[in-house]
């Protein structure tokens, strides 16, 4: 058996061996770590060297390209040119498509069609005839009176009804003054439908000074199309104006444009948009009532000239119609002139109205006659209505170049002239001349519509459009009788 000391020595020896082994292992581990770190450092160094070599290589190989100024300038010019062309194309495309797109998105309301009612025969109280029943009654009374007289012998006839005392009194100054007061009140009502048209034009003299010229004429409000107020006035002197303004009865001044014009008479339609008119003006103005110049005889009847009959705005004249029914002889029309005993101006304008306030004529200053030197003349409103209607709707005035006349029944029967529109003249280079129509021809049919008078032919022409082809059946004088033939004519526009 071992002693305690020997065991103690052995344990100490074992501990030293264990500690030695642990230190050895620790040392080996440390050496291994050091070797590994050296390798990593070496590898990292190798990588850094390779990167630096690569960067150095790239720095040596890469070079800046030299700037080609001509090529750069060329490309800049091309780019700017393409941008300008693109902008121009875009602007043109927008201008062309904008109205179409606007109409598709916001469709504009079409103006209403202006029409005037067909004239009804107007019978004035003094021209009114008694009806058949009254004729029978009066006839029976006459027979009874004769019968009673024959039977009763000397029995007196019934006394006539007593005439009121007021009617027996002679007219006094007061009654004459009262009559003119009523006419003055009627005139004031009519003047609410009258306007003063002012045209302004600019010109320069020989030293380049700007000159402004103004001209005025009178107009009458005839209708509206739902969007514009339509005014009839003399427009031939307004064509070259720089601006046209209309003064209403309440003092308002608004710009106007010529909608359409009849070059034969010089009358035209001016348009003033409703958007430019205030509610006050619209509530003040009135529309003229277009009467009739054919329904009843006007000769000898009183009329009022309103507008500018003496060449001064808002002037008024009273007078009497002295004649009517004289053909004016204008192309493609059957206008008739009426004369008055009213002294006027060569530059007069306005309307003639009867004592009921209806327009019966439009003052016309171009009528020349040796017998009428300084009196106001007017074209009858009945013949002008279709022309006013056509111009109010913006339709261009058509043209054939025909002059005609009405043939009365006595002459027609004596010379065996067929019914139709008798042609008295043809305008040179007109559509009618090109179609082969001659003076003395009688137009008896237009397309499939029979024509009896020249007035019916004019009414048919007022319904035609420019470039419309018409087939005219005419009767032309032969050796023994009239022979019919057909001609085609293309409707033109007034020159």
Using the predicted structure, report yes or no on whether residue 484 has a pLDDT greater than 50: yes
Using the predicted structure, report yes or no on whether residue 320 has a pLDDT greater than 90: yes
Looking at residue 5, what is its pLDDT?
A: 67
Least confident among 94-108, 302-316, 441-455: 94-108
* The token pair that represents 425 in the structure block: 């003249």
Using the predicted structure, report yes or no on whether residue 141 has a pLDDT greater than 50: no
DSSP calls for 214-258: EEEEEEEEEEE-SSEEEEEEE-TTTTT-SEEEEE-TTS-EEE-EE
Over the chain, what is the mean pLDDT? 81
Question: Is residue 394 left, alpha or beta, with left meaning phi > 0 and alpha meaning psi from -120 to 50?
Answer: left
Looking at residue 420, what is its pLDDT?
A: 92
CA–CA separation, 494 and 237 (whole Å) = 17
CATH of 398-493, one of 3.40.50.2300, 3.40.50.2000, 1.10.3720.10, 2.30.42.10: 2.30.42.10
- Encode pLDDT of 416-436 as tens digits: 889 999 999 999 999 999 999
CA–CA separation, 415 and 258 (whole Å) = 47
Question: Which residues pair with residue 335 across a beta bridge?
Answer: none
Using the predicted structure, report yes or no on whether residue 166 has a pLDDT greater than 60: no
- The β-bridge relationship of strands 358-363 and 289-290 is parallel
Measured in residues, the chain has a length of: 495
Q: Mean of the pLDDT values across residues 228-245?
A: 91
> pLDDT grade, residue 125 (50/70/90)?
very low
Looking at residue 94, what is its pLDDT?
A: 82
* The token pair that represents 465 in the structure block: 């459009």
Looking at residue 110, what is its pLDDT?
A: 76
Using the predicted structure, report yes or no on whether residue 162 has a pLDDT greater than 90: no
Q: How far is CA 173 from each of CA 170, 176, 355, 492, rounded to the nearest angstrom?
A: 10, 5, 21, 59
Looking at residue 68, what is its pLDDT?
A: 72
Using the predicted structure, report yes or no on whether residue 42 has a pLDDT greater than 70: no
Within the chain, which residue ranges are assigned CATH 2.40.10.10?
194-284, 289-390
> pLDDT grade, residue 342 (50/70/90)?
very high
CA–CA separation, 138 and 140 (whole Å) = 5
CA–CA separation, 362 and 305 (whole Å) = 9
Class level of CATH domain 194-284 = mainly beta
87 Cβ contact list (under 8 Å, min separation 6) = none
Question: Which residues pair with residue 343 across a beta bridge?
Answer: 375
Using the predicted structure, report yes or no on whether residue 140 has a pLDDT greater than 50: no
> pLDDT grade, residue 37 (50/70/90)?
low
Least confident among 77-86, 183-192, 428-437, 467-476: 77-86
3-state secondary structure of 207: coil
342 Cβ contact list (under 8 Å, min separation 6) = 303, 305, 309, 317, 318, 319, 375, 376
Structural fold of domain 289-390:
Thrombin, subunit H (2.40.10)
Percent of the chain scoring above 70 in pLDDT: 75
Using the predicted structure, report yes or no on whether residue 412 has a pLDDT greater than 70: yes
CA–CA separation, 311 and 345 (whole Å) = 6
Looking at residue 146, what is its pLDDT?
A: 38
Least confident among 244-248, 273-277, 344-348, 428-432: 344-348
Looking at residue 257, what is its pLDDT?
A: 94
Looking at residue 148, what is its pLDDT?
A: 39
344 Cβ contact list (under 8 Å, min separation 6) = 305, 309, 310, 311, 317, 363, 374, 375, 376
Within the chain, which residue ranges are assigned CATH 2.30.42.10?
398-493
Q: Mean of the pLDDT values across residues 143-155?
A: 38
Using the predicted structure, report yes or no on whether residue 73 has a pLDDT greater than 50: yes
CA–CA separation, 379 and 106 (whole Å) = 43
Looking at residue 47, what is its pLDDT?
A: 63
Question: Which residues pair with residue 202 across a beta bridge?
Answer: 212
* pTM for this model (two decimals): 0.69
């Amino acid at each position: 058996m071992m002693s305690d000391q020997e065991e103690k020595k052995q344990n100490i020896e074992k501990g030293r061996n264990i500690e030695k082994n642990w230190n050895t292992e620790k040392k080996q581990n440390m050496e291994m770590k050091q070797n590994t770190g050296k390798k990593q450092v070496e590898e990292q160094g190798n990588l850094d060297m390779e990167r630096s070599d690569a960067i150095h290589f790239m720095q040596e190989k890469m070079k800046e390209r030299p700037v080609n100024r001509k090529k750069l300038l060329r490309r800049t010019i091309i780019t700017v040119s393409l941008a300008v062309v693109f902008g121009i194309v875009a602007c043109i495309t927008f201008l062309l498509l904008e109205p179409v797109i606007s109409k598709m998105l916001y469709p504009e309301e079409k103006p209403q069609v202006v029409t005037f009612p067909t004239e009804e025969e107007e019978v004035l109280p003094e021209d009114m005839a008694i009806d058949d029943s009254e004729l029978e009654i009066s006839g029976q009374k006459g027979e009874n009176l004769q019968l009673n007289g024959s039977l009763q012998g000397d029995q007196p006839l019934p006394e006539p009804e007593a005439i009121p005392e007021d009617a027996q009194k002679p007219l006094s100054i007061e009654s004459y003054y009262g009559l003119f007061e009523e006419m003055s009140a009627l005139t004031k009502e009519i003047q609410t439908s009258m306007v003063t048209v002012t045209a302004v034009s600019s010109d320069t003299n020989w030293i380049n000074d700007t000159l402004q010229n103004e001209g005025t004429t009178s107009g009458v409000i005839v209708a509206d199309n739902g969007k514009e107020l339509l005014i009839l006035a003399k427009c031939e002197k307004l064509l070259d104006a720089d601006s046209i303004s209309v003064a209403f009865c309440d003092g308002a001044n608004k710009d106007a444009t010529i909608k359409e014009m009849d070059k034969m008479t010089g009358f035209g339609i001016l348009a003033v948009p409703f958007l430019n008119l205030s509610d006050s003006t619209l509530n003040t103005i009135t529309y003229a009532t277009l009467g009739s110049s054919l329904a009843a005889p006007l000769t000898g009847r009183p009329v009022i000239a309103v507008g500018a009959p003496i060449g001064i705005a808002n002037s008024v004249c009273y007078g009497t119609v002295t004649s009517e029914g004289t053909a004016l002889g204008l192309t493609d029309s059957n206008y008739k002139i009426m004369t008055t005993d009213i002294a006027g101006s060569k530059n007069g304008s306005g309307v003639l109205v009867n004592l009921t306030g209806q327009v019966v004529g439009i003052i016309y200053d171009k009528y020349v006659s040796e017998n009428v030197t300084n009196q106001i003349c007017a074209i009858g409103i009945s013949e002008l209505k279709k022309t006013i209607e056509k111009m109010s709707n913006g339709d261009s005035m058509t043209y054939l170049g025909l002059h005609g006349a009405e043939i009365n029944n006595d002459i027609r029967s004596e010379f065996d002239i067929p019914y139709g529109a008798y042609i008295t003249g043809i305008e040179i280079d007109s559509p009618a001349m090109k179609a082969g129509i001659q003076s003395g021809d009688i137009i008896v049919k237009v397309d499939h519509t029979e024509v009896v008078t020249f007035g019916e032919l004019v009414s048919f022409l007022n319904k035609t459009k420019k470039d419309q082809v018409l087939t005219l059946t005419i009767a032309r004088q032969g050796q023994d009788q009239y022979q019919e033939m057909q001609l085609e004519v293309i409707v033109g526009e007034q020159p």
